[in-house]
């Protein structure tokens, strides 16, 4: 395995964010208010890692035919004489056309309070645009990277480099909803509460792990040759390729309902609080992650939402 080599450029500076926000809040009637906010954040001086022992010209472009729909996807095959040569240097990216990260978000909320009860509702929608076209190799320095350390130490191109400019992909806005409330029951001073949350699913990739001997299927789609090597004379032992652009597929929405009750009582000078909460009341088995690499285990769940959970708590103040 190649030895990890990484050093900062002498003139490297910290990344920094510039954030702008604006918000309004208005009370409609006594106890009822509405609010709205806008946020925008840009990241600058972003770090990029460059291998100083070779450059983009040492890669040859190979058109790979997607097994999903027969479309052409570009892969990058490194000159064999450069394989395993690693001298990584961190620089600041100064060209915002090639690297930038922009976030835009809107939040709206409503709050009501009346006779021992309260209710809150919120709606958030946001979008994050990432551009990382000045760095072909996968060094694991992008948010959401899921490759193992062993992969990061090799000359492995990014699986999604062909989709490096998300500003051209029509990235969708993601929506989140929240509704929560509490009410003091008219007997025994018991407070009941409930909360419902609905989150947009995380991006869902579909990847193809190509080996040196991987061949097109006999019934392959598009301009492929059945039985031919996918990447002839491939330099790395494996090449992972994203078959769908970011923003084209997501996990399902995560919906969760939680409920609870709380009772406060006193014994002499001590105050006690007894509480019972049930999380994921509907016992939803939401899939949080799954195998995204084509193969026999493709789509197999790897992590699911924690099942229904009861929590009992007691607090004493003195």
What phi and psi values does residue 76 have, to the nearest 5 degrees? -125, 115
pTM to 2 decimals?
0.85
Q: What are the tokens at 284? A: 């939803």
Q: Are 155 and 84 in contact (CB under 8 A)?
A: yes
SS3 of 199-222: the string is: ECCCECCCEEEEECCCECCCCCCC
Unique residue bearing structure tokens 């993601």: 174
CA dihedral 242, 248, 249, 253 (to 10 degrees): 150
Q: Is the dihedral of CA 140, 145, 150, 155 positive or negative?
A: negative
What is the chain's Cα-based Rg?
A: 26
Quote the pLDDT of residue 165: 96
Which residues have CB under 8 Å from 268's CB, separation 6+? Answer: none
Quote the pLDDT of residue 140: 57
Quote the pLDDT of residue 78: 93
Which residues have CB under 8 Å from 30's CB, separation 6+? Answer: none
Closest CA to 48 of 9, 5, 103, 97: 9
Q: What are the tokens at 263? A: 């009772």
Quote the pLDDT of residue 61: 95
Residue 132 burial class via C-beta count within 10 angstroms: exposed 0-12, middle 13-18, buried 19 and up:
buried
Angle at 84 between CA 80 and CA 86, to 5 degrees: 125
> How big is the chain, counted in residues?
318
Quote the pLDDT of residue 143: 46
d(CA 137, CA 157): 4
d(CA 279, CA 311): 8
**pLDDT by 10s per residue, the chain, length 318:** 444 568 899 999 999 999 999 999 999 999 999 999 999 999 999 999 888 898 899 999 999 999 999 999 999 999 999 988 888 899 999 899 999 999 999 999 999 998 889 999 999 999 999 999 998 887 654 444 444 444 444 567 889 999 999 999 999 999 999 999 999 998 778 999 999 999 999 999 999 999 999 999 999 999 999 999 999 999 999 999 999 999 999 999 999 999 999 998 888 888 899 999 999 999 999 999 999 999 999 999 999 999 999 999 999 988
Q: Are 113 and 27 in contact (CB under 8 A)?
A: no
């Amino acid at each position: 395995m190649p030895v990890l080599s990484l050093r900062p450029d002498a003139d490297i500076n910290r990344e920094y964010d510039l954030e702008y926000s604006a918000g309004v809040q208005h009370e409609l009637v006594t106890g009822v208010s509405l609010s709205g906010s806008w946020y925008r954040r840009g990241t600058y001086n972003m770090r990029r890692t460059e291998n100083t022992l070779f450059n983009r010209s040492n890669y040859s472009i190979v058109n790979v035919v997607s097994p999903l729909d027969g479309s052409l996807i570009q892969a990058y095959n490194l000159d064999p004489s450069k394989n395993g040569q690693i001298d990584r240097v961190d620089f600041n990216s100064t060209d915002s056309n090639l690297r930038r990260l922009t976030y835009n978000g809107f939040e709206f909320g409503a709050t009501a309070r009346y006779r021992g009860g309260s209710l809150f509702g919120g709606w958030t929608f946001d979008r994050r645009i990432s551009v990382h076209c000045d760095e072909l190799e996968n060094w694991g320095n992008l948010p959401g990277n899921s490759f193992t350390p062993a992969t990061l130490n090799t000359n492995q191109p990014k699986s999604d480099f062909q989709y490096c400019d998300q500003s051209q992909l029509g990235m969708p806005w993601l929506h989140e909803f929240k509704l929560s409330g509490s009410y003091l029951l008219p007997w025994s001073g018991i407070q009941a509460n409930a909360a419902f949350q609905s989150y947009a699913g995380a991006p869902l990739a579909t990847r193809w792990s190509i080996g040196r001997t991987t061949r097109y299927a006999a019934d392959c789609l598009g301009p492929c040759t059945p039985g031919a090597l996918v990447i002839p004379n491939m330099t790395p032992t494996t090449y992972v390729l994203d078959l769908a652009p970011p923003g084209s597929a997501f996990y399902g929405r995560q919906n969760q309902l939680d409920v609870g009750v709380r009772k406060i009582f006193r014994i002499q000078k001590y105050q006690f609080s007894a509480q019972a909460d049930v999380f994921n009341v509907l016992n939803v088995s939401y899939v949080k992650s799954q195998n995204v690499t084509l193969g026999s285990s493709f789509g197999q769940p790897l992590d699911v939402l924690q099942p229904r959970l009861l929590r009992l708590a007691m607090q004493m103040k003195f």
